[in-house]
Structure 1
Amino acid sequence: MFTSKFNTMTGALDWEIQNEDYDYQQELARAGFADMLHDYERNRLYYAGLRKAIKKLKSENKVVNVLDIGTGTGLLSMMAVMCGADTVTACEAFKPMVKVAKKCIEANGMKDKIKIIEKRSTDIVIGIDMDQRANVLVTEVFDTELIGEGAIGTFTHALDHLLDSYCYVVPDNAIMYIQIVDSPKCHDWNWLDLSKYGLKVPEEYKNLAGDAIFDIQLTEFNEFRALTEPLEAFRFSFSGKKPISYNERNVVEAVSKQDGKANGIFMWWVLRMDYENEILLSCAPHWAHHSPNNMQWRDHWMQAIYFPSRLIDLKSGENFLISCQHDEYSLKFDVHAFSEKNKILNFNQPIEDINLGMTLVSRNRLAQLNDKKRFDMFINLLKKNEKDYRNLLIANDDFSILPLLSASETKYEKIFVLESNRFRERCLLSFLNINGLEERVTIIDKNLTDIQSADLINNQFDFVLSESSFNSIVLPWDNLYFYYGLEHLRSLEQKKSAIKKILPIKLRLFVIAISMENLDKIRSPVGVCEGFNLAEFDKIILEASCKADGFLEPHPLWEYPSKPLSDSLEIFDFNFNSRSVSEPFTKTCKFGLKENGLLNGFALWHVLEFDEEDSRISINTGLLNEPEFGKNLVWSKDYKQAIHILEKKVEICDSNRSNISVNCNINFEPLLGKFNIYFKIEN
């Protein structure tokens, strides 16, 4: 069948021929099931919780009827069978996974022991779909926020409509923890600070990134000082011992351990799998984990950072308040001075659903906007060129402070900025107005590739500057979108010879062979899990992932430790001053390995250069230091890099290292807007 696909380089919609099951493959690939099944602690503790609940009911001579909500592969249902359940009913509404579950259950000889209902649990009716209520519920409907996948509604409905009054639930309950920290990086992820440049931030846009969750591998984050110990924010009872509130508000009194600014709120949770609270499944970072030397790595559940609505300075020993709120799906936390206690504790006010606000930029983009070295570089570039060029076009389609800086710091006659998003345009106008710069900047409400001749009649410019910050960029070579935009501008009659200066000058692409500590697990076969054969899952899911996701995918590699097995190698460069490039570019780079370890992937990133004479005047999105063999690589926290995870890992050792080489094949077809990279390991 034909499907339309947005070309991230050209900005155009391309039509591609796909298999009839394309949508099915897309859904499967993005479901993240492989990561969950590699979470051996999760699997083991769910098994232990089930075993304990079923054993308890058996000891009371009760018939055990198990309900598994959201069965996925059928793993938890098969565990229930092995634990001695008399009946097992599994429900799964995600159609692609129903097929997987049936195949896995049949492969393990349990086809006649598990009934699969292809419905949401909230649509199940006793007497029609199930013969009787269950007395054991097992389900994993959690995300990093614990409740974001609808856990509250799922458990509440099951307790009311699908379970006996005397029942056991796995997990039984959960505790959510928070910790207040002082972190300059958290500040950069939340508040835009333009004070260095004498510019104001409008009150209504003080939070450009909104209040949405910022999930993160906190164990890899060390740029903070703890102002409190971990504090309990909420308890959730899933077993019916206490009703789960759809809207709950709690206030925690805390004491600051040291002087600092409360600009980050860390959050994680712990599942207590059994009715005696003995089996603990913790998502805590290493410093708060009950077993820090034996922690399970996982990516499907991480930790999260929330951000206060305003910055509060705390003194050592000072009392303060933390307000905690959740609705059915979301969480919200804030920090308050102790003097606000009466106001904060006024529970007569109705609890409303949480409004997370509008997200105008990502947290990473906000950190880029707070990078003073970055914008000092841009100011110097602008001043260096203002004598030679009169009219400046700033070409991004993500919010930028370049229009503000160019208007306040330079003397260009005219400054134009592209902004096609009406919400970001409104935001930029507010910034310009509050700083008295609205007369200096003209906004063109188009993307770079959408500008028409009519847009340029009264808008003449000879200098085009870009951070190459475009919303379409996913992988490093997507920055070639800037070239296609320039080609579009050049094609317009009025502008054929008007553009005299283009920055950035060059795109450079780098690669390095790496040994990832854990990240490769998200694309690795599961094989046997807790004694169950999941080969059918591997076959279906990994094939779908390959078809849907392609060869490379973006990840913030600073969160995922990896060590170098080769030097970094430049494999491609492109000059943005190039005109009408039409010939396909093909190149093969061959490089060797210089360190022992498990070769399980390749990382790629790009550098944008802005000065022909000084390559240091650049934006580097990848490695911050030269790789040192035997040590973890140091990656930029403000960008995602591209990663290729090898299907077949290779153990590199002294005996084979000199005989192994890597071929990296690059193919760029400018007329089609296609860029492909392939890796081949030769022995």
Structure 2
Amino acid sequence: MHSILFKPSLVPSPLLSRLCLPPLPVIFVSDLLRRTMASSARSFQLRLNPLTGDSEWVVIDEEEEEDLVQHEQSKSLLATTSYLDMLNDGCRNRAFRLAIEKTITGPCHVLDIGAGTGLLSMMAARAMGGQGEVSACESYLPMGKLMRRVLRANGMDKNVRVFHKRSDELRVGVELNSRADVLVSEILDSELLGEGLIPTLQQAHDMLLVDNPKLVPFRVTTYGQLVESDFLWKMSDLCNNEVSISDGVHLVPAGLEGILGIKPQQHAMHCDALLEEIRLLSEPFKVFEFDFWKRPDSHGEVVMRIPATVDGKVHAVVSWWVLQLDYEGSILYSTSPSWINSFNAEKPSSCISGQRDWYDHWRQCVWFIPRGGISVCKDEHVLLQAFHDDTSVSYSLKVDGQTNFNPYKAEDFNLMLLPERIATYGNKEWRMAVLTAVKSALHGRSSPLCVVADDSLFLTILTASLSKNSLVTSVFPGLQEKGALYVQTVADANGFSMDCVRFVCKRASHLLKDNINQRKIDLLLGEPFYYGSEGMLPWHNLRFWKERTSLDPILADDVFIMPGKGILKVCAMSLPDLWRSRRSLKYIEDFDHTIVNETLGACGDLPSLQEGPCLPYFIWQCGEAKELSEIYSVMEFNFYDPIQACSEGKKIVFSKHGVCHGFVLWIDWVIDEKNSAFISTGPVSRYWKQGVKLLSKPVTVTAVDDFAEIEASFDPSSGELTVRSSFLKL
């Protein structure tokens, strides 16, 4: 079972930025926001089964703090977050500690909103020498329980009062003895505003803080830069990219450019990984400044003229922020990419935060320019209009001489997918491989029944257009009615009639109820791709195998299944940046955090039998990475057979010297009947996340002389893969 956790501050906002998971579909998240209500005694968590897509709410009660089952549930949840990554960021921790010690000069009342493990609360209590008062607000109960354990371990449980509530549920004279003199908080995501920073500060200034309070951090400034990048272009402009692909499938037909696109938002990404593929078209520019010490506005707008430094095409705006933690501006923290040599022109020489190491909890953000970008010439000015509301920042661009800004809004697109999915659908090699396999499977079948068992728009349109006499049934368990409407809209442009296409918009097993007019399924197809599950662990797409098994009674004897099998692949790798970001904690600014290691899934200096979780990452964005072995096939999943438990072992011989930090795993999908064509989701492709199993301790290995043994077990009831490893000498 996989879980999505919610840690509200002012509003019940999901901390997607602190999860190693993708965002849920927009409509689903909105529904969760309305339904999630944290109280002082209980918290809700949503648990998802990756093999079925089913979800359920699990209630965690504060009174059951020592319950073993609840402890295990909380541990599995928190281990998939980036709390550990954030706590390992020594630059961040030191900056907050120095700013708190500089700001709090005597006994006072300090409020910590979104307290996490209580690190900032303990810093504040120590700064007051055990006097004053610290109130810590942490609405997500599992984290609140962990914070209490950390406070006890540091002898600070008497110095910090913990409230398992949202900050807007705190009342002066009830929970709080008085309004707070100082607010310390860290509720920032990569975009800055996504964790509810603005409404949280508004309510705090209105109801919880004294007039003219002190705040840490004190101010934050957002910056941007215009860039050109073919890679980023392919992630956002399927319309123009598809023009060069002559396979007869038109996902974005002429005249219907708004039918399919990416969500108009800032997308978090490690842009340093694209350093060799980005051309900078402007100098960095300041966009917004938010002063925490005063009540922020819910809406803001700025228009600026940005001179182009070279000729090129603006494909995206790369953005980041600089945090000023103290009043004087001597303590700064930046999320800028590595090509920015300084935080800003006014950066003081005494700034303590140099270029930070790789960490995943804060990244840069990319705002994609629609419709292929905007051409600019050197010294030509780009007019940039930036907006912000309570939770996001957006941009519109135009070049001097144009009459209108180039707006980019959610209503521009009938259907929105993630950038990686847009890039996949625009990949010529991927499309040709799938087309060849499906065309071969259709050969010799006069009027086949084809079922697309997942959310693949491409397979639905491809099959319907290749075989005019076929009946295509698309399940669309995630896309549902939106997917059906999309296919109906592009049918004419792709040359097929909707009389030959039907939609289920539920799980594939619902096909058993009407048995599709007593017909057997001739082609069962999938990419596999499940809308809303993008970015999860690779083997979670074995949901296709589960769906195939449910349809077993109505599969034809000569059924063609695509993919016909999945092959679990593994490669030993050196991943020093990723391993460091998830290593076990000891003392953070002199506060003992060893108690959180097991719960947060740490690696390093742990008992040998303790195993960390497999987590999904884009390896190409994980900082330094080096392959230490060849790629090995560990296990095969045969989709022509019903789903079943699998267990295999593999000997991994190291081909390079180095330090092994873990194993990277993914699935290659075999898509043709001859087992000769496959789609890889490994690191060579940057559009899928891989699974990473980090070692408890790094191992220095020598080529040829050293080897590892990998054991992998797949559980068909939960959809989880257990991976264990051992190292030996030849």
TM-score (structure 1 length as normaliser):
0.84
Shift of 1:513: 1.5
Cα distance in structure 2, aligned partners of 1:431 and 1:283: 42
Q: Residue 682 of structure 2 is aligned with which of 600, 622, 625?
A: 622
Q: Which residue of 2 aligns with 1:91?
A: 136
Paired residue secondary structure (1:178):
strand
Q: Which residue of 2 aligns with 1:531?
A: 590
Q: Residue 369 of structure 1 is aligned with which of 425, 446, 451?
A: 425
Q: Which residue of 1 aligns with 2:216?
A: 170
Q: Which residue of 2 aligns with 1:349?
A: none
Shift of 1:73: 1.7
Which piece of structure 1 moves more, 598-607 or 586-595? 586-595
Deviation readout 1:125-146 (Å, 9 max, x if unpaired): 3344334433332111111111
Alpha-carbon contact 2:337-2:364 (below 8 Å) kept: yes
Q: Could you say if the C-alpha distance between residues 613 and 327 of structure 1 is closer, same or farther in structure 2, counting changes exceeding 3 Å? A: same
Cα distance in structure 1, aligned partners of 2:57 and 2:263: 35
Shift of 1:518: 1.9
Paired residue secondary structure (1:558):
helix
AA partner of residue 529 (structure 2): S
Shift of 1:272: 0.7
Cα distance in structure 2, aligned partners of 1:539 and 1:671: 25
The yes-or-no answer on 1:429 pairing with 2:496 is no
The yes-or-no answer on 1:210 pairing with 2:273 is no
Paired residue secondary structure (2:561):
strand
Shift of 1:290: 2.0
AA partner of residue 650 (structure 1): P
AA partner of residue 170 (structure 1): V
Cα distance in structure 2, aligned partners of 1:551 and 1:287: 33
Q: Which residue of 2 aligns with 1:505?
A: 564
Q: Residue 122 of structure 2 is aligned with which of 66, 74, 78?
A: 78
TM-score (structure 2 length as normaliser):
0.79
The yes-or-no answer on 1:558 pairing with 2:620 is yes
Cα distance in structure 2, aligned partners of 1:89 and 1:80: 7
Which piece of structure 1 moves more, 328-337 or 383-392? 383-392
Deviation readout 1:635-683 (Å, 9 max, x if unpaired): x21101111122x2133156xx877542222335669977543323457
Alpha-carbon contact 2:582-2:602 (below 8 Å) kept: no
Q: Could you say if the C-alpha distance between residues 426 and 355 of structure 1 is closer, same or farther in structure 2, counting changes exceeding 3 Å? A: closer
Q: Could you say if the C-alpha distance between residues 249 and 664 of structure 1 is closer, same or farther in structure 2, counting changes exceeding 3 Å? A: same
Cα distance in structure 2, aligned partners of 1:13 and 1:130: 36
Shift of 1:571: 1.0
Matches within 5 A, 1:296-335: 296-316=357-377, 317-335=379-397
Cα distance in structure 2, aligned partners of 1:19 and 1:559: 35
Paired residue secondary structure (1:136):
strand
AA partner of residue 179 (structure 2): R
Cα distance in structure 2, aligned partners of 1:593 and 1:399: 38
Cα distance in structure 1, aligned partners of 2:156 and 2:715: 51
Q: Residue 630 of structure 2 is aligned with which of 567, 571, 589?
A: 567
Shift of 1:298: 2.0
Alpha-carbon contact 1:133-1:164 (below 8 Å) kept: yes
Q: Which residue of 1 aligns with 2:238?
A: 192
Q: Residue 553 of structure 2 is aligned with which of 457, 476, 491?
A: 491
Which piece of structure 1 moves more, 120-129 or 37-46? 120-129
Paired residue secondary structure (1:35):
helix
AA partner of residue 28 (structure 1): L
Q: Residue 414 of structure 1 is aligned with which of 467, 470, 473?
A: 470
Paired residue secondary structure (1:228):
coil
Shift of 1:311: 3.8
- Where does structure 2 lack aligned partners over 5 or more consecutive residues? 4-45, 59-66, 344-352
The yes-or-no answer on 1:146 pairing with 2:192 is yes
Q: How many residues were matched structurally?
A: 644
Deviation readout 1:85-141 (Å, 9 max, x if unpaired): 641313223322333223322322333333334433333333443344333321111
Cα distance in structure 2, aligned partners of 1:672 and 1:540: 21
Cα distance in structure 2, aligned partners of 1:671 and 1:43: 41
Cα distance in structure 1, aligned partners of 2:79 and 2:104: 34
Deviation readout 1:7-31 (Å, 9 max, x if unpaired): 5447789999992445544553445
Q: Which residue of 2 aligns with 1:608?
A: 669
Alpha-carbon contact 1:326-1:354 (below 8 Å) kept: no
Alpha-carbon contact 1:403-1:441 (below 8 Å) kept: no
RMSD: 3.7
Cα distance in structure 2, aligned partners of 1:439 and 1:359: 19
Matches within 5 A, 1:507-522: 507-522=566-581
Q: Residue 450 of structure 1 is aligned with which of 502, 510, 526?
A: 510
Matches within 5 A, 1:639-650: 639-646=688-695, 648-650=696-698
Shift of 1:396: 4.3
Cα distance in structure 1, aligned partners of 2:337 and 2:720: 41
Q: Residue 262 of structure 1 is aligned with which of 298, 305, 314?
A: 314
The yes-or-no answer on 1:67 pairing with 2:119 is no
Deviation readout 1:7-57 (Å, 9 max, x if unpaired): 5447789999992445544553445321111010110001111122234xx
AA partner of residue 569 (structure 1): Y
Q: Could you say if the C-alpha distance between residues 293 and 488 of structure 1 is closer, same or farther in structure 2, counting changes exceeding 3 Å? A: same
Cα distance in structure 1, aligned partners of 2:717 and 2:167: 50
Alpha-carbon contact 2:601-2:612 (below 8 Å) kept: no
Alpha-carbon contact 1:516-1:562 (below 8 Å) kept: yes
AA partner of residue 337 (structure 2): P
Alpha-carbon contact 2:258-2:413 (below 8 Å) kept: no
Shift of 1:554: 1.7
Deviation readout 1:488-539 (Å, 9 max, x if unpaired): 44412xx443x44333333222111222122234543211111111122224
Alpha-carbon contact 2:51-2:718 (below 8 Å) kept: no
Q: Which residue of 2 aligns with 1:395?
A: 452
Shift of 1:181: 1.8
AA partner of residue 418 (structure 1): S
Cα distance in structure 2, aligned partners of 1:671 and 1:527: 37
Matches within 5 A, 1:124-135: 124-135=170-181
Q: Which residue of 2 aligns with 1:48?
A: 98
AA partner of residue 360 (structure 2): D
Shift of 1:148: 1.2
Q: Which residue of 1 aligns with 2:346?
A: none
Q: Which residue of 2 aligns with 1:629?
A: none
Q: Could you say if the C-alpha distance between residues 185 and 298 of structure 1 is closer, same or farther in structure 2, counting changes exceeding 3 Å? A: same
Deviation readout 1:53-72 (Å, 9 max, x if unpaired): 234xx6xxxx5443322222
Alpha-carbon contact 1:403-1:415 (below 8 Å) kept: no
Cα distance in structure 1, aligned partners of 2:315 and 2:629: 39
Matches within 5 A, 1:331-346: 331-340=393-402
The yes-or-no answer on 1:279 pairing with 2:279 is no
Deviation readout 1:557-584 (Å, 9 max, x if unpaired): 111132223222111124434x4576x5
Paired residue secondary structure (1:677):
strand
Shift of 1:293: 7.5
Q: Could you say if the C-alpha distance between residues 400 and 219 of structure 1 is closer, same or farther in structure 2, counting changes exceeding 3 Å? A: same
Alpha-carbon contact 2:473-2:501 (below 8 Å) kept: yes
- Where does structure 1 lack aligned partners over 5 or more consecutive residues? 347-352, 625-635
Q: Which residue of 1 aligns with 2:153?
A: 107
Paired residue secondary structure (1:187):
helix
The yes-or-no answer on 1:19 pairing with 2:69 is yes
Cα distance in structure 2, aligned partners of 1:559 and 1:19: 35
Cα distance in structure 1, aligned partners of 2:80 and 2:545: 31
Which piece of structure 1 moves more, 73-82 or 190-199? 190-199
Matches within 5 A, 1:575-614: 575-577=638-640, 579=641, 585-611=646-672
Shift of 1:585: 4.3
Cα distance in structure 1, aligned partners of 2:451 and 2:229: 32
Paired residue secondary structure (1:105):
helix
Q: Which residue of 2 aligns with 1:632?
A: none
Shift of 1:399: 3.7
